[in-house]
Homo-oligomer: A and B are copies of this chain.
Amino acid sequence: MKEHAITYDVEVIDEKMRKKHLSIPAERPLTLYVNKKELLTIMTLGANTRSLIIGYLRNQRLVKSLDEIESIQIDWEVNAAVVKTKNTNSNIDTLTGKVTLTSGCGQGTMFGDVTAELEKFQLGVDLKLKQSDLLEIIDEVRMYSSIYKQAGSVHGCALFKQSKMLFYCEDVGRHNAVDAIAGKMWEFGLEGKDLLFYTTGRLTSEMVIKGAQMHIPFLLSRSGVTQMGVEMARNVNMTLLGRCSGKHFYVFNGVERLIFDLLD
């Protein structure tokens, strides 16, 4: 197999015993070292890797700003990324114990601390979205020439400013895709309060928490929601739009930010 490809061609056998060729997404380990300490191994598609690393460090609260990161070196020969931070006494050493403790199976990541932190946090109410723009967003995602379309089996996240798509990141895990978006926001100096966040994945508590941490008032998905996703969205006053498909969608929370300009 080629090195560093994002998709691979595999030969499969179908139900008639015919040989076929399919495209499938790459998946590779990347071990993250921060200040010479091994932090964790992420399984990733291998696209947007720099943004993924920055976003991971951001969402795990291991660095407080992009400035704190001195350098990132990614070496796919050994599947490793080496990060140096400016202040080696930064959050990394004190937080690492706590972070890894709650990060099993992707469901518990950061949960304990962040919930408390977000307890009194409220997203701003200034940003509105017209239904006509929402339908454009849904259509833009549908038309986007994604790796998902070509090879399936990846999750995608996109950042919109009204109906304009700023970024689209895909990865084998939905957590990675959202982390890559968080990284891009720092790299391009974008604040969340004017933006909309789209994910192909489900709207679970963790997605709402990450969206709120990025101060993004809108979270959209073509998939559904969980009860704690809704509960968290209510707590932070986030507009939660699920099952977005064609002209259809459900507003699970925060309908006051939506302008129904297409009703007769």
Contacts and interface: CB of A to CB of B under 8 A. Distances in A.
A43 B13 contact: no
A226 B27 contact: yes
Contacts of A41: 102, 104, 107-108, 111-112
A234 to B, nearest CB: 10
Interface in A80-136: 100-109, 111-112, 131
Contacts of A12: 242, 250-252
Nearest to A221: B153
A241 to B, nearest CB: 10
Interface stretch (A66-74, A157-165, A202-210, A212-220): A202-210
21 contacts: A1-B231, A10-B227, A12-B251, A13-B250, A14-B248, A17-B263, A24-B227, A25-B226, A26-B227, A38-B101, A40-B102, A43-B107, A43-B206, A105-B106, A105-B179, A106-B107, A107-B176, A152-B223, A153-B204, A153-B225, A172-B226
A186 interface: no
A35 to B, nearest CB: 15
A44 to B, nearest CB: 7
A230 interface: yes
Contact of A263 (B16, B102, B204, B224): B16
Given A20-B250, A26-B226, A153-B202, 13 more contacts: A10-B230, A24-B225, A24-B227, A26-B227, A27-B226, A38-B101, A42-B105, A42-B108, A43-B206, A56-B105, A100-B100, A105-B173, A153-B226
The 3 A-B residue pairs with the shortest CB-CB distance, nearest first, are A106-B106, A43-B107, A27-B226
Number of copies: 2
Interface in A149-191: 151-153, 172-173, 175-176, 179
A19 to B, nearest CB: 10
Contacts of A204: 27, 43, 153, 172
Q: Most chain-B Cβ atoms within 10 A of its Cβ — which of A60, A107, A228, A262?
A: A107
Contacts of A28: 228
Given A24-B225, A24-B230, A263-B16, A108 B250 contact: no
B224 A152 contact: yes
